[in-house]
Amino acid sequence: MSTPVLLVIAHGSRDPRHAATVHALVRRVRSLRPDVRVETGFLDFNGPSVQGVLESLETEGVRDVVALPLLLTRAFHAKADIPAVLADAPPRLRIRQAEVLGPSPLLLSALERRLYEAGLTPADKSSTGVVLASAGSSDPEAIAVIAEIAREWRHTGWCAVRPAFASASLPRTEDAVRELRALGCARVAVAPYVLAPGFLPDRIARGAAEADVLADVLGPSPEVARVLLERYDAARVPVLAAVGA
| pLDDT tens profile 126-181 | 999 999 999 999 999 999 999 999 999 999 999 999 999 999 999 999 999 999 99
Contact 163, 179 (CB under 8 A): no
Confidence of residue 17 (pLDDT cuts 50, 70, 90): very high
**Mean pLDDT taken over the chain:** 95
Burial 70-89 (b: 16+ CB within 10 A, else e): bbbbbbebbeebbeebbeeb
CA dist 180 and 182 (Å) reads 5
Angle ∠(178,182,187) on CA atoms, nearest 5:
75
CA dist 145 and 74 (Å) reads 9
Q: How far is CA 133 from CA 39, 72, 76, 244, in A?
A: 29, 12, 19, 44
Looking at residue 245, its pLDDT comes to 43
Share of the chain above pLDDT 90, in %: 92
| pLDDT tens profile 186-211 | 999 999 999 999 999 999 999 999 99
Looking at residue 75, its pLDDT comes to 82
Q: What is the mean pLDDT of the segment spanning 101-120?
A: 98
Cross-strand pairs, 130: 161, 189
Looking at residue 2, its pLDDT comes to 79
> Integer distance in angstroms from the first to the last C-alpha of the chain?
12
Q: What is the mean pLDDT of the segment spanning 85-93?
A: 96
Looking at residue 238, its pLDDT comes to 66
Looking at residue 1, its pLDDT comes to 54
Question: What letter would DSSP give residue 49?
Answer: B
| pLDDT tens profile 39-59 | 999 999 999 999 999 999 999
Q: Is residue 241 scored above 60 in pLDDT? A: no
Q: Is residue 115 scored above 90 in pLDDT? A: yes
Question: What is the SS3 assignment for 92?
Answer: coil
